[in-house]
Amino acid sequence: MLSLIYIGSEFYVKSSTMMSSIYTVDGRRSDWGKVSIALEKGEEVHIRPATRKEMSQYRKMLAEWKAATKKIDEEEDK
């Protein structure tokens, strides 16, 4: 069984595809292709919305990645 957490498509867009809109319950990035493959194999797929606490963690991750990307861009401009 594939158990996933849906955090929203805006994370995919705002992170320039560095983040996914779905993650495994233990925090590993997943994608819709994996969902499709699992379903084609006859596996059960469970997707639930993220809790407030989980959303907070993923927002923090997004902010950290955006800050790191900005630093890299600034260093390349030097």
pLDDT digits (tens, 9 = 90+) for 60-78: 999 998 888 776 666 666 6
In whole angstroms, how far apart are CA 31 and each of 20, 52, 76? Answer: 6, 21, 30
Supply the pTM of this predicted model.
0.80
Query: For residue 53, how far is the Cα from the chain centroid?
Result: 15
Q: 10-49: per-residue pLDDT in tens?
A: 888 888 888 899 999 999 999 999 999 999 999 999 999 9
